Structure 1
Amino acid sequence: MDGDDYEALPDELELWCVYCGHHDDHSEFMTQQQLDRAMRAAGDIGVQILGQALDEAFGRSAMRSSRSSRSGFGIGIEITYRSEPFYPEPLPGIDEESLIRIRSCGSCSLRYAVFGEHRFCPVCGQLPAMVVALDALAAETARLDGLAQLSADVAAGLRERGVFTRIWVDTLENLVGVVESLGSAVFRGAVADAGVRLNGKGNVFQRLDHTAQLFVDAGFADLRSVVDNARWRRLIKFWAARHVFTHNDGLVDARYLTKVPTSTMRIGQRLTISEQDCRQAIADTEVLCRAIADLTRP
């Protein structure tokens, strides 16, 4: 977390792990290296405090550095103390990977950095569903951008092994998951009897028309009207392609042709997909996500 933002937090506030959502006292989030450094500092301070106490007890001059006494048993006891300066060694350094992705929470404005995908703000806890959705879409775009930066030789080798195709197929699968999570969160947050309405409907948020109708039946606008017709048709096609790849190894079936009646493919042929298809699907999915989030806003 940003140092100034952290110092401004109340001591009794519990913090959240941005990755798993565990929340606990501040001290529970100290790394081992930070703990080692703190323990060394505490040990050095302890030695200095003890030295100061002994100096005060025995005095600092050589004339007072030795005291003797005789016990009731007639045994002489002599205590000798010599004051020596304490030179602490340098504290252990912190050798941890630098964070480069800095975030600012839209709810509490806390500035924090993360190593990867996360679902929680260190202070607020669970991030809004729309924030999670946009993060996921940005990750899909970044993955495609990363592939585009590969050298020609490496890219050719991966392409010939089908790696690019598998990544593009995974992109479609992930986009459906993004919409499913967002749609479910928005619907459950806005509809009091969401559990009753969803009972027996299975993975309804994986099906675009059914999702749209679900919101209509609950009194909200029709996504099929909010999203322009050309974009909605493309989304239907992308969703149908994802279903075929997931459940039929990409081979066209009757269900696909029903969903995409303008297709020139035949039953049994295998669909092909491209990077441009994926980029278009990401752009269309972002529009759809924003439309879903806007449905329940006043």
Structure 2
Amino acid sequence: MWNHRKFRMPDGAEITGHQGDSYEVRVSVPSDDDGFFGRQCPACSMSFRIHGGDYEALPDDLMLWCVYCGHHDDHSDFMTTQQRERIIRAAGDLGMQLISQGFEDAFRGLSRGNSRRGVSISYEGKPFYPRPLPGINEERLVRIRTCSECQIRYAVFGEHRYCPVCGQLPAAAVAFDALQADAARLDALEALPPGAKAVLREQGVFTRSWVDTIENVVGVVEALGSAVFRAAVPDAEARLRGKGNVFQRLDDMAALFVAAGYDDVRPELGTQTWQRLAETWAARHVCTHNDGIVDQKYLTKVPTSSARVGQRLVVTETDCRRAIDDATALCRALNELTS
């Protein structure tokens, strides 16, 4: 019968089993003030966080997904660096006590008397006092996500495509999260101190960010439209053959769904919203393919523009926020077409 009580373990570590020369040690991983603790992908090394209560309710043989790269492995492989250091400290303290016990067992019963011809060996053990386990001080969460499928709460620190438990996220969830991320970036830039804003504005960071937002908005709608169409239309590939990147072209995309038997999203969104979307798409085309230089194709799409051919298009924060709102409405309409 093994006696684990003869070993001293630090707060947060407990010996829970023993078989032969092996000891099973449970080491706690403290959660932050919001109830979340860290996970780190063994493939891409990026970190995310999961709600501790939700995690405890999951099965012991859980296989986790990296929310960023989609690596899929045993949940124990997703320990963070700080968590691993905590476990190593506990294992090291147990190891020191096992070694000490080994010496005590080896010398127990040996004579300590003097010998004229032999060597006298003595060993005196000393009480072992474990060191406190290292604390966990990892990056705090910013915004909590809740998976629509399994309801697990988690937090990420970058663009992600997977739920840590369910795997691949629905295309609509990815789209709405991406649009919210672009809005958050605009908010973050606006919230900078005046001095920092002035430096970034002078270096063109704001302008570049606004152009990126317009390009991102179009990309989000393109990805969602493609995913929705391919999932809902049995002969999608045949219908798409020869049409090029049809999901980058607003009217062609809408007509594609109509031809497949679905409602036309244009009347639902309204003429004004659809025209604004057309202007966003035209701005994206100019910025992406013509370095922002206005051409006749742009002026045809945006007849109310005061720009002239050859001028460089100016994108503003107002344009971006309007584009995000309009794209959100379009994504919602696309997602509801086949639901």
Q: Quick check: 1:103–1:112 contact (8 Å CA) kept in 2?
A: yes
How many angstroms does 1:202 deviate by? 2.1
- TM-score, length basis structure 1: 0.85
* Greater Cα offset, 165-174 or 266-275: 266-275
**Counterpart check, 1:281 vs 2:303:** no
1:104-253 equivalences in 2 (<5 Å): 104-253=146-295
Question: Secondary structure at 2:225's aligned position in 1?
Answer: helix
Structure 1 partner of 2:308: 266
**Counterpart check, 1:96 vs 2:96:** no
Letter in 2 for 1:66: G
- How far apart are the structure 1 equivalents of 2:237 and 2:119? 82
What is the aligned counterpart of 2:109 among 66, 79, 88? 66
- How far apart are the structure 2 equivalents of 1:31 and 1:8? 20
Q: Quick check: 1:168–1:273 contact (8 Å CA) kept in 2?
A: yes
How many angstroms does 1:198 deviate by? 1.9
How many angstroms does 1:109 deviate by? 1.0
* Greater Cα offset, 117-126 or 191-200: 191-200
- How far apart are the structure 1 equivalents of 2:197 and 2:125? 70
CA deviation vs aligned residue, 1:189-243 (integer Å, no higher than 9, x gap): 1112222222222221111111101111111111212211110011001111111
Letter in 2 for 1:280: R
Identify the structure with bigger relative contact order (alpha carbons < 8 Å, sequence gap 6+).
1
Question: Secondary structure at 1:108's aligned position in 2?
Answer: coil
1:4-15 equivalences in 2 (<5 Å): 4-15=53-64
- How far apart are the structure 2 equivalents of 1:273 and 1:202? 27
Question: Secondary structure at 2:144's aligned position in 1?
Answer: strand
What is the aligned counterpart of 1:85 among 120, 127, 142? 127
* Greater Cα offset, 106-115 or 259-268: 259-268
CA deviation vs aligned residue, 1:106-160 (integer Å, no higher than 9, x gap): 1101122222221111100111111111111111111211222233344344334
Q: Quick check: 1:101–1:115 contact (8 Å CA) kept in 2?
A: no
**Counterpart check, 1:27 vs 2:27:** no
Distance change (3 Å), C-alpha of 1:44 and 1:159 = closer
* Greater Cα offset, 219-228 or 15-24: 219-228
Distance change (3 Å), C-alpha of 1:176 and 1:79 = same
How many angstroms does 1:65 deviate by? 4.3
How many angstroms does 1:52 deviate by? 6.2
- How far apart are the structure 2 equivalents of 1:153 and 1:163? 14
Distance change (3 Å), C-alpha of 1:219 and 1:5 = same
Structure 2 partner of 1:45: 94
Task: Tell me which structure has the larger Cα radius of gyration.
Answer: 1
What is the aligned counterpart of 2:296 among 250, 254, 267? 254
How many aligned residue pairs are there? 285
Q: Quick check: 1:252–1:265 contact (8 Å CA) kept in 2?
A: yes
- How far apart are the structure 2 equivalents of 1:100 and 1:151? 20
The two structures, once aligned, show a CA RMSD in angstroms of 2.6
Structure 2 partner of 1:71: none
CA deviation vs aligned residue, 1:234-273 (integer Å, no higher than 9, x gap): 1001111111122122222221222223434332233222
Distance change (3 Å), C-alpha of 1:83 and 1:156 = closer
Task: Answer 1 or 2: which has greater helix percent.
Answer: 1
5+ residue gaps, structure 1, are 59-63, 69-75
- How far apart are the structure 1 equivalents of 2:120 and 2:262? 90
- TM-score, length basis structure 2: 0.76
- How far apart are the structure 1 equivalents of 2:146 and 2:265? 30
- How far apart are the structure 2 equivalents of 1:276 and 1:247? 22
- How far apart are the structure 1 equivalents of 2:196 and 2:84? 43
- How far apart are the structure 1 equivalents of 2:188 and 2:201? 14
Could you tell me the percent identity over the aligned residues?
Answer: 63
- How far apart are the structure 1 equivalents of 2:74 and 2:196? 47
- How far apart are the structure 1 equivalents of 2:119 and 2:203? 85
**Counterpart check, 1:290 vs 2:336:** no
How many angstroms does 1:283 deviate by? 0.8
* Greater Cα offset, 164-173 or 38-47: 38-47
Flag as ranges the 4+ runs of structure 1 deviating above 6 A.
52-55, 76-79
CA deviation vs aligned residue, 1:31-53 (integer Å, no higher than 9, x gap): 23222221221232344456668
* Greater Cα offset, 202-211 or 285-294: 202-211
5+ residue gaps, structure 2, are 1-49, 112-117
